[in-house]
Structure 1
Amino acid sequence: MASPGTIDTRGSDFARLAHRITEAGLLDRRPVYYAVRMTIAALVYLGCWALFAWVGDSWLQLLVAVLMAVVFTQLGFLAHDLGHRQVFRTRRPSDIAGLIIGNFGVGLGWGWWNTKHNRHHANPNHEDHDPDVSPAVIVWSQEQAANSNGLPRFIAKYQAFWFFPLLTLEAWHLHIASFKALLNPAAKRRRLELTLLVTHFVLYFGLVFTILPFGKALLFLLVHQGLFGLYLGCTFAPNHKGMPVLTKEDKLDFLRKQVLTSRNVRGNLFTDVALGQLNYQIEHHLFPHMPAPNLRRAQPIVERYCAEIGVDYLQTRLLTSYGQALSHLHEVGANLRQR
Structure 2
Amino acid sequence: MKYYLSIIAMMAAFAFYAQETTNTAQKWSAGRPDGHAPIPVMGDHMHGKGEWMFSYRYMYMNMEDLKQGSDDASFGDALENYMVTPTEMPMNMHMLGAMFAPSDKITVMAMFNYLSMEMDHVTRMGGTFITEASGFGDIQISGLYRFFNQNQQTLHGQLGFSIPTGSITESDVTPASAPNETELPYPMQIGSGTFDTNLALTYLGQGEINSWGVQLRGIFRFGENDREFRYGNRYSLNNWFAIKAADWLSFSARLEGLIVGEIEGEDPNLNPMMVITADTENSGGNFVNGGLGFNIYIPSGALKNLRFGFEVASPIYQDVNGIQLRTRETLTLGTQYAF
TM-score tier after normalising by the smaller chain length: under 0.3
Higher relative contact order (CA 8 A, sep 6+): 1
TM-score norm. by structure 1 comes to 0.27
Higher helix residue share: 1
Higher strand residue share: 2
